Amino acid sequence: MIKKEFTLSIFTEDHIGILNQITIILTRRQINIESVTASESAVKGVQLITLAIKTTDEMVRKIARQIEKIIDVIKVFVHTSDEIIYQELALIKVSTKNLLSGNIIDHLVRSHNARFIEITPEYIVIEKTGHKSEIVRLLQELEPFGVLQYVRSGRVAVTKQVKEFHAYLKELNEAQREKEKEEFEIITKI
């Protein structure tokens, strides 16, 4: 079975402990989380957890179904890399002493579409936004100059589809109204 990279967009109610419940499901199946990001979503009161994992098609479907069984989870969407637009953010702190000769660092930063965040006599902090491979390439080119610190965020992603989660909420709301209507009709017949 071929493992591929998947992005899980998990919409949840804003309650404590959901991420722990999700990681337990992945741990039981020995699936490592490549990156994780949690934030509020476009819908008030709904959190979005974005996970990047590597697994098989069959396993990711099983995982999504199991995560959806968690009480506070509203919906899980599974995406391949070509179905989403995603970025990561990295901050790289480099020693200034090796960079003072010439404009090598300036050229390097510009050629990677990165930017300077802070410049001091001791260090320079560079920000790079992009895919993991782009960030790693810049990091490798900066290593000979003395990388002091490096940190990278989890994946932030939006789908290429226009109405994914809002359409789901609308369908859910309509189904709930239909159920309430049917219950009302049963009660009024009694």
Q: Looking at the chain, how many residues does it have?
A: 190
Between CA 39 and CA 46, with CA 41 as vertex, the angle to 5 degrees is 95
CA atoms of 50 and 12, how far apart (whole Å): 11
Between CA 155 and CA 27, with CA 86 as vertex, the angle to 5 degrees is 35
Where in the chain does DSSP place strands (E)? 4-13, 33-40, 46-55, 73-80, 84-95, 115-119, 123-130, 147-152, 156-159
- pLDDT in the model for residue 106: 82
Can you list the domains of the chain with their CATH numbers? 85-152 (3.30.70.1150)
Helix (H) or strand (E) holding 21: helix 18-28
R_g of the chain computed on alpha carbons: 22
Question: Please, is 189 exposed, middle or buried when counting C-beta atoms within 10 Å of its C-beta (0-12, 13-18, 19+)?
Answer: exposed
- pLDDT in the model for residue 180: 66
Helix (H) or strand (E) holding 64: helix 57-68
pTM recorded for the entire structure: 0.76
- pLDDT in the model for residue 176: 67
CA atoms of 82 and 112, how far apart (whole Å): 22
Phi, psi angle pair for 133, to nearest 5°? -60, -35
* Six token digits for residue 12: 């949840």
**Residue 20 to residues 15, 16, 24, 127, 141: CA-CA distances in angstroms?**
11, 9, 6, 30, 36
* Six token digits for residue 91: 């901050």
Please list the ranges in the chain whose pLDDT falls under 50. none
